[in-house]
Amino acid sequence: MCCAMQGLQSRAVGLLALALVAGPATAADFEVKEITIPELKAVFGQIESRTVVPARARIGGTVTEILVDEGREVRDGEVIARVVDDKIALELSAAEARIRALESQLDNASTELERAQQLLGRGVTTQSRVDQAQTTFDVITNQIAAAIADRSVIEQRSREGDVLAPATGRVLSVPVTQGSVVLPGEPIARIATGRYFLRLSLPERHAAAIVEGDEVMIGRRGLAANQSGRLAAATPGRIVKVYPEIADGRVIADVDVADIGDYFVGERTLVSIPIGRRRVLAVPAAAVVTRHGVDYVALRAEKGIAEVAVILGERFEGEDGPMVEILTGLEAGDRIILP
């Protein structure tokens, strides 16, 4: 009642204090009527990545080199660190020595086999001796093949000391330092892959009002709300998922943004999200003129045109362009003059 009386008083003062301008209007008229607009709530959302995958060490050993740091963009398969196990070099040397020893035995077995075959051709020896020499030659040959395979396994283990990026993305953290001792499977870096999205955490009283597909406005980095509570400049986004579980009195929703910018994962930004709808009186923003800190609109009256002092509310984008809410000074059905 108090607000209604103040509105009537402001309307009366505006009509009485300002002189009427006689004559027909040359600009278009706009009929003031109630419209329904979404009621927005300013909340903070947190930037998240679709997936965060760890780059793990494939062997145990000492981290001898780290090639990336936090915030670095990496490609799939890129070497981001190196882990060295000193025992691998010793095992490789032992494998090489074993192969050389077997190769010497193979030369001797080959010589014995040739000699046995020559003696058999002369009729000096028996077939069993030739078969025995052939068996010895084949066994040593297979032992060399097995030793070469063992050496290949050791060489592969040494190559697995290179820690590779599992996917293309941005490095979030590197929890180890050069000289650290790691075990197989221990994470060397965490990499954010895929597109970023915005995660909202809202009080559960708004759970019923949050609907998938609703549009929200995301502020730029460091952007604050203006006097009307709306974001002065923002990027539109859309709610793509509302989680069905409420935890600690909060409902979680995910917002997809086409061009979210260069935010950091975990960074917070201001978001305007619809939590309901209300009916208001609104006029085009171009119809409002401000003089000496007071807002006026030109109202068509019976005897001409009068300027009426109004109190403005929220600004928003309507079907007719930028609109502004009128709290007091006008009534539904009034006709105002547009410039």
Q: Examine residue 132 and state whether it is found in any structural domain, yes or no.
A: yes
Q: Examine residue 295 and state whether it is found in any structural domain, yes or no.
A: yes
Q: Are residue 211 and residue 291 in the same domain, yes or no? A: no
Measured CA to CA, the distance from residue 110 to residue 127 in angstroms comes to 16
Q: What token pair was written down for 248?
A: 């600690």
Q: Examine residue 27 and state whether it is found in any structural domain, yes or no.
A: yes
Q: Examine residue 179 and state whether it is found in any structural domain, yes or no.
A: no
Q: Are residue 271 and residue 310 in the same domain, yes or no? A: no
Which residue type occupies 26? T
- 248: domain CATH number is 2.40.30.170
Q: Identify the domain boundary among 145, 164, 183.
A: 164
pLDDT in the model for residue 62: 92
Q: Which domain holds residue 72?
A: 54-164
Q: Are residue 77 and residue 159 in the same domain, yes or no? A: yes
Q: What token pair was written down for 209?
A: 């009002």
Whether the CA torsion 278, 283, 286, 292 is positive or negative: it is negative
pLDDT in the model for residue 261: 61
Q: Examine residue 158 and state whether it is found in any structural domain, yes or no.
A: yes
Task: Report whether pLDDT(223) > 50.
Answer: no
Measured CA to CA, the distance from residue 81 to residue 166 in angstroms comes to 13
Q: Identify the domain boundary among 119, 141, 164.
A: 164
Q: Are residue 126 and residue 27 in the same domain, yes or no? A: no
E strand intervals along the chain: 29-31, 33-56, 61-66, 73-74, 79-84, 162-164, 169-173, 181-182, 187-203, 215-219, 234-247, 250-256, 268-284, 288-291, 294-301, 304-318, 321-328, 335-337
Q: Are residue 89 and residue 108 in the same domain, yes or no? A: yes
> What are the tens digits of pLDDT across the range 24-72?
444 578 888 888 887 777 888 888 887 889 999 999 999 999 999 888 8
Q: Are residue 271 and residue 299 in the same domain, yes or no? A: no
Q: Are residue 113 and residue 65 in the same domain, yes or no? A: yes
Q: Are residue 127 and residue 151 in the same domain, yes or no? A: yes
Q: Are residue 227 and residue 251 in the same domain, yes or no? A: yes
C-alpha radius of gyration, the chain, whole number: 40
> What are the tens digits of pLDDT across the range 132-175?
989 999 999 999 999 999 999 989 888 888 999 999 888 888 99
Q: Examine residue 172 and state whether it is found in any structural domain, yes or no.
A: no
* Predicted confidence band of residue 224 (pLDDT cuts 50, 70, 90): very low
Q: Please classify residue 74 by burial: count the beta carbons closer than 10 Å to its beta carbon, then call 0-12 exposed, 13-18 middle and 19+ buried.
A: buried
Q: Identify the domain boundary among 255, 275, 295.
A: 275
Measured CA to CA, the distance from residue 66 to residue 79 in angstroms comes to 9
* Predicted confidence band of residue 216 (pLDDT cuts 50, 70, 90): confident
Torsions phi, psi for 87 (to 5 deg): -70, -25
Q: Are residue 45 and residue 58 in the same domain, yes or no? A: no
**Mean pLDDT within 218-242:** 64
- 323: domain CATH number is 2.40.420.20
pLDDT in the model for residue 29: 82
- Report the Cα 209 to chain-centroid distance in Å: 25
**Mean pLDDT within 280-295:** 87
Given the DSSP bridges, would you call strands 187-203 and 234-247 parallel, antiparallel or unpaired?
A: unpaired
Q: Examine residue 185 and state whether it is found in any structural domain, yes or no.
A: no
Q: Are residue 248 and residue 303 in the same domain, yes or no? A: no
Contact predicate 281/330, CB 8 Å: yes
Total number of domains constituting the chain: 3
Q: Examine residue 184 and state whether it is found in any structural domain, yes or no.
A: no
Report the percent of the chain where pLDDT is more than 90.
24
> Could you write out the DSSP letters of every residue in 168-185?
SEEEEE----TT-EE-TT
- 70: domain CATH number is 1.10.287
Q: What token pair was written down for 184?
A: 């197989």
